[in-house]
Amino acid sequence: MRSPIAETVEATCCVMRYDIDKDEDIMAMRVTSENYIVFMPKRYRRHTLKLLKEIRAYGVKRYFDGNINGLGRLRGHIARQNPQAKAIIESRTAVSESSTANVLEHDVLVLFNGPVHHYVTPKFYKQTKPDTGKVVPTWDYEAVEVYGRAKVYYDAKSTESGVFLAKQISDLSDHMETSIMGYGKTPGTYPWKVTDAPERYIELLSKNIIGMEIEITSIAGRFKWSQEKPVKDRDGLVEGFKNLDTHDGALLSDKVRDHATLFDAKKAASTQMTTILK
C-alpha cells in the first residue's frame, strides 16, 4: 500500500498526465537516470498541511540491483552528518524493537526524472496563441515513480551494516567508473576499484555514511511532452527548443517531435479500431 505521503506528493508536486506503458522504457529510465530524489515520511498526523511540513526529500547515491526476484531493489547511502540521515534514524523509532526494527514504517517514494525537462513558454505555440491567445506556460517532462519498503543500515558497529555498505560502495563505484566514465571499455583504460584505496581508510569513511535498501513494490512511469497540442503548436515547440541552441534544447526538440509522432499514430489506430467496431 502506498503511504499517505506518497499520495500527497503525487497530488501536489507532480502534474502527471500520460502513463509510460512499456516496461522496458520504465526499466531503462530507472536504471540509467542520474536524476532522482527520495521522499520519505516522518511520523505525522493525518492532516495535509502537517503532512507537507513533514516531507523529507533527499538525494541518494544509489545502485539498482535487478538480480533478485520481484521488481528489484535500490541500494544507496548518504552522509551520516546530513540532517536527512538524522530524520531516517528518527523514523526508524516508529517501528517496535524486533527483527524488522530497521525497516521504515511507511513506503518511500523514489522519483527519477528523465534526462531533460523544461519550461514551455506560450510564445512557442504557433497556432493557438495567435488564434485565440488561450495559452499559458507549462512544463514538459518525464519521470518514473518507484515505491518500496526501505531498510536502513545506520549502526556503525553492526556487522550487517558493514557488509551492506562494503557491497554498496563497491558496486556503486564499479557502476560509475564503467557506465559513466567508460573506463574498462577500451584498451588501456581501467576503472578505479575500492580496493585501490587503503582498507583502513575505506573502513573509516564507511562509518560516516548510512545505508538504505529499498525493496521495490510498484513502478509507474509518466510523461508530458505537449503531444496533445495541435500540429502547428507542436511544430513551434520543436523549433523553439531547437533554437535554444543547446544540447538539452536539441534533446527536448527530439522528445516533442517523437512523442507527437507516437501520439498521432496511437490516435489513428484508436480511430481505426472504433470505425471497425461500429
List, in order, residues 6 or more apart from 114 with CB less than 8 Å away. 29, 33, 35, 141, 142, 143, 223
SS3 state of residue 29: helix
CATH: 3.40.50.1820, 3.40.50.970, 2.30.110.10, 2.30.40.10. Which one for 4-224? Answer: 2.30.110.10
Q: Which three cell numbers stand for residue 2?
A: 502506498
Classify residue 71 by its DSSP letter: T
Task: Point out the least confidently predicted range of 33-47, 141-155, 264-278.
Answer: 33-47
Rounded Cα gap, residues 278 and 266, in angstroms: 19
Tens digit of pLDDT for each residue in 187-224? Answer: 999 999 999 999 999 999 999 999 989 899 988 888 99
Rounded Cα gap, residues 135 and 139, in angstroms: 13
List, in order, residues 6 or more apart from 129 with CB less than 8 Å away. 122, 123, 135
The pLDDT of residue 139 is above 70? yes
- Contact predicate 37/62, CB 8 Å: no
Predicted local distance difference test score (pLDDT) of residue 85: 82
Predicted local distance difference test score (pLDDT) of residue 59: 46
User: ∠ CA(255), CA(257), CA(263), 5° rounding?
Assistant: 95
Q: Average pLDDT over the chain, rounded to whole?
A: 78
pTM: 0.69
Predicted local distance difference test score (pLDDT) of residue 67: 52
Beta bridge partners of 223: 18, 142
Task: Point out the least confidently predicted range of 51-60, 130-139, 208-217, 231-240.
Answer: 51-60
Highest averaged pLDDT of the listed ranges 41-45, 139-143, 198-202, 266-270: 198-202
- Contact predicate 148/204, CB 8 Å: no
Domain segments of the chain: what residues?
4-224, 229-278
What element of type H or E holds 113? strand 108-113
Mean per-residue pLDDT, 120-124 = 98
The pLDDT of residue 276 is above 90? no
The pLDDT of residue 69 is above 80? no
Predicted local distance difference test score (pLDDT) of residue 146: 87
Classify residue 184 by its DSSP letter: T
- Residue 87: pLDDT band (50, 70, 90) is confident
The pLDDT of residue 162 is above 80? yes
Share of the chain above pLDDT 90, in %: 46
Q: Residue type at 233? A: D
Tens digit of pLDDT for each residue in 2-52? Answer: 443 333 333 223 333 344 444 444 444 444 444 456 655 544 334 333 333
